[in-house]
Amino acid sequence: MSPAEFVGDLLNPDLAFLPKALLVAVMSSIVCGVVGCYVVLRGMAFIGDAVAHAVFPGLAVAFVLGGSLVLGGVVAGVATAVLVAVFSQNRRLREDSVIGVFFVAAFALGIVVISRAPGYAGSLQQFLFGSITGIPDEDVAIVAGTGVVVLGVALLLHKELVTVSLDRETARAMGLRVFALDLVLYVLVTLAVVISVQTIGNILVLALLITPAATARLLTDRLGAMMALAPAIGGLAALVGLYVSWSWDYPTGGTIVLVLTAFFLAAWFLAPRQGLIAKRSKWD
Amino acid sequence: MSAVVSVEGVAVRLGGRLVLRDVDLDVARGELVGLIGPNGAGKTTLLRTLLGLLSPMRGTVTIAGRRARAGAIPIGYVPQRHEFAWEFPISVEQVVMTGLTGKLGLLRRPGVAEWRAVDEALERVRIADLRTRPVGELSGGQRQRVAVARALAPQPAALLLDEPFTGLDMPTQDLLSELFASLAREGRAVLMTTHDIAGAIHGCDRLALLDRTIVAAGSPQRLARDAGLWMRTFGVGERSPLLRILKAAA
pLDDT in tens, A102-156: 888 888 888 888 888 777 666 667 777 777 777 778 788 888 999 999 999 999 9
> Considering CB atoms only, which of B95, B103, B106 is closest to A166?
B95
Q: Half-sphere exposure of A152 toward its Cβ, with a 13 Å CA cutoff?
A: 6
Instruction: Count the neighbouring beta carbons within 10 Å of the beta carbon of residue A270.
Output: 13
Residue A34: CATH number of its domain:
1.10.3470.10
Nearest-5° angle of CA B92, CA B95, CA B96?
A: 90
Q: Cβ of A41 and B88 within 8 Å? A: yes
Classify B1-74+158-250 by CATH class.
alpha beta
**Nearest residue of A to residue B83, measured between CA atoms:** A167
B218 touches chain A (CB under 8 A): no
Q: Which residues contact A278 (CB under 8 A, 6 or more apart)?
A: A270, A271, A272
Number of compact structural domains in chain A: 1
- Residue ranges of alpha helices (H) inside B51-111 are 92-98, 101-104
Task: Determine the distance in angstroms separating the CA of B87 from the nearest CA of chain A, rounded to an integer.
Answer: 8
Q: Is A40 left (phi over 0), alpha (psi -120 to 50) or beta?
A: alpha
Distance CA B78, CA B149 (A): 9
CB-based contact A10:A211 (threshold 8 Å): no
- Residues of B with CB below 8 A from A175's CB? 70-72, 102
A176 touches chain B (CB under 8 A): yes
Please, which residues bridge with residue B7 across strands? B25, B61
- Residues of B with CB below 8 A from A220's CB? 89
Q: Half-sphere exposure of A37 toward its Cβ, with a 13 Å CA cutoff?
A: 32
**How much is the ipTM here?**
0.89
Q: Cβ of B102 and A176 within 8 Å? A: yes
State residue A226's pLDDT score: 95
**Nearest residue of A to residue B102, measured between CA atoms:** A174
Distance CA A150, CA A195 (A): 11
B79 touches chain A (CB under 8 A): yes
State the DSSP string of B174-236: HHHHHHHHHHHHTT-EEEEE-S-HHHHHHH-SEEEEEESEEEEEE-HHHHHT-HHHHHHHHT-
Name the residue type at position A135. I
Which residue in A159, A161, A165, A226 has the most chain B C-beta atoms within 10 A of its own C-beta, making it the best mutation to test that interface? A159
pLDDT tens digits for chain B (250 residues)? 578 999 999 999 998 899 999 999 999 999 999 999 999 899 999 999 999 999 999 999 999 888 888 877 778 999 988 889 999 999 999 999 999 998 888 888 899 999 999 999 999 988 999 999 999 999 999 999 999 999 999 999 999 999 998 888 888 888 888 989 999 999 999 999 999 888 899 889 999 999 999 999 999 989 988 889 999 998 888 888 888 888 887 6
Residues of chain A short of pLDDT 70, as ranges, are 89-91, 120-124, 274-284
> Considering CB atoms only, which of B88, B89, B104 is closest to A220?
B89
SS3 B33: strand
Domain boundaries, chain B: 1-74+158-250, 81-155
Q: Cβ of A223 and B83 within 8 Å? A: no
